[in-house]
């Protein structure tokens, strides 16, 4: 029986109360502070001031704990809006916001579909918004395209955050350090298209880049539906 369906142990007098919700909240606090490497059943038990073996009455192991953590964060991803386009935009933006709040989530999204109750509720809202607008066979490819864009974009942002922490250089300082190399390389005339974009195009921040890319994707979906 999956963890979503398995009942918790009955209440009994113990020095410290325990539940799946308390376990998951503690694990999320650890991951938010120090990443997924900081999450183990032993550390979660220490955080809750209980013996590690007590946790096994509620979860089978770390994989179940990670599934519960991801689904708990899915409660923060609530797609909403008037019409399918706004709901898909909301899905992408809420996913990005959730990863910004919980950086570790970037490492756990994008694999097999999440089937916890919060993830299913979000999926229901998105699919309901597409009902009657998109052919039933196209629903999941459309949703997958938006999820792939949001996850890919925010993973790049997380990679930049991590690189900044590792090197002590933010993106602007890193770009400035490579400026002389690029000038020498572009001066060879071998990369004229890249040189034009780097020198002449507007350098947008992450927020603008994300929204413009999302608009391109949604415009493409809309054009496909109109055709």
CB 49 within 8 A of CB 16: yes
d(CA 58, CA 147): 31
Question: In this predicted structure, what is the pLDDT of residue 78?
Answer: 94
Tokens 């395209």 belong to: 145
Distances from the Cα of 217 to the Cαs of 27, 92, 98, 171, in angstroms? 35, 11, 21, 26
Token digits for 174?
Answer: 């890193």
CB 36 within 8 A of CB 104: yes
Q: How many CA atoms lie within 13 A of 217 on its CB side?
A: 22
Would you call 3 exposed, middle or buried from its count of C-beta atoms within 10 A (0-12, 13-18, 19+)?
Answer: middle
Token digits for 171?
Answer: 């993106």
pLDDT tens digits, one per residue of 63-112: 999 999 999 999 999 999 999 999 999 999 999 999 999 999 999 998 88
d(CA 37, CA 24): 15
Question: In this predicted structure, what is the pLDDT of residue 13?
Answer: 60
User: pLDDT means per 10 residues in the chain (227 residues)?
Assistant: 78 74 97 96 95 92 95 96 96 98 95 90 96 91 96 95 87 81 89 89 90 97 89
Question: In this predicted structure, what is the pLDDT of residue 9?
Answer: 80
Q: In this structure, how many other beta carbons lie within 10 angstroms of the beta carbon of residue 135?
A: 11
What angle is formed at CA 4 by the lines to CA 9 and CA 90, rounded to 5 degrees?
140
Helix, strand or coil, per DSSP, at residue 9? coil
Whole-prediction pTM: 0.90
Question: In this predicted structure, what is the pLDDT of residue 7?
Answer: 83
DSSP annotation of 23? H
Closest CA to 149 of 76, 227, 88: 88
């Amino acid at each position: 029986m999956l963890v979503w369906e398995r009942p918790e142990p009955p209440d009994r007098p113990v020095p410290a109360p325990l539940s799946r919700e308390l376990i998951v909240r503690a694990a999320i606090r650890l991951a938010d502070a120090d990443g997924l490497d900081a999450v183990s059943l032993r550390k979660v038990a220490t955080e809750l001031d209980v013996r590690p073996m007590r946790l096994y009455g509620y979860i089978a192991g770390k994989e179940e704990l990670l599934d519960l953590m991801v689904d708990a964060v899915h409660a923060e991803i609530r797609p909403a809006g008037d019409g399918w386009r706004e709901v898909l935009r909301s899905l992408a933006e809420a996913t990005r916001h959730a990863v910004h709040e919980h950086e570790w989530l970037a490492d756990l999204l994008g694999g097999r579909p999440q089937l916890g109750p919060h993830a299913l509720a979000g999926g229901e809202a998105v699919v309901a918004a597409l009902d009657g607008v998109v052919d039933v066979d196209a629903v999941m490819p459309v949703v997958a395209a938006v999820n792939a864009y949001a996850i890919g974009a925010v993973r790049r942002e997380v990679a930049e955050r991590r690189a900044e922490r590792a090197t002590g250089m933010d993106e602007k300082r890193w770009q400035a350090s490579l400026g002389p190399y690029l000038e020498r390389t572009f001066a060879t005339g071998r990369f004229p298209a890249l040189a034009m974009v780097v020198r002449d195009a507007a350098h947008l921040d992450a927020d603008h880049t994300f929204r413009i890319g999302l608009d391109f994707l949604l415009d493409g979906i809309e054009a496909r539906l109109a055709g």
